[in-house]
Each structure stands twice: as C-alpha cells, then as structure tokens.
Amino acid sequence: MALIYPSKWEGFGLPPVEAMKLGTPVITTNKTSIPEVCEDAVCYTDIDNIQTFIDDIAKVQNDEKYRNFLIEKGYIQSSKYNWEKTASLFLDALRKNMTGENA
C-alpha cells in the first residue's frame, strides 16, 4: 500500500526514490536530505506525534485520490534519478580527478 519510511537520519533517501519509481506512495519525514530528494511527491509526517503519524498512514490507505496523486507525483520525481546518469557523473568526476582537471 505504501512505503513507511520514518527516518530521522538519512544520507540520501534511496528507498523512497526506489518506491516512487515502482509506483508505491511514500510516507516519510522532512528530515535531512529527504525533502530535497522527494520534494512534494510524498506524504510528510511527524513521527514524533503518534496521532499525526497514524492519521497520515490512514489517509494514504483510505483516500484513493490522494494515494493516486502521490503515485503520479512519485513517478515524476523518481524519474529525476537513474543509475545511468549517476554512473556517468561518477565516471566524469573520476576522469577529471585522474587527469588533474578542476571539477
């Protein structure tokens, strides 16, 4: 039904991106890099407020229109990230480092 990702300490946020790419709505926090990675394509919740957390889970579960909205936004947002682009950027940086070029 959804990926519930209540992370307070995150390096990048790969699990939400992978879930969005698969058409799975994401419920997560607005901590660390997650808002930068996910933008407005997920349901942000306050995991320190148990009632808010429960209400947000129920909303994604019970509100089909909202769930479909998150799915569509997730497809769009996750398309910004792909392994080919990541590998290409990494190899370019590695080549510049090996040849002594400034990045």
Q: What is the pTM of this model?
A: 0.81
Identify the domain containing residue 78 by its residue range. Answer: 3-99
Which comes out higher in pLDDT, residue 100 or 78? 78
- Sorting pLDDT into bands at 50, 70 and 90, what band is 102? low
pLDDT 10s digits, 56-83: 999 999 999 999 999 999 999 999 998 8
Burial of 74 (0-12, 13-18, 19+ CB in 10 A): buried
Number of domains in the chain: 1
Q: What is the CATH number of the domain that holds 86?
A: 3.40.50.2000
Q: Give CA–CA dist 70/42, Å, rounded.
A: 6
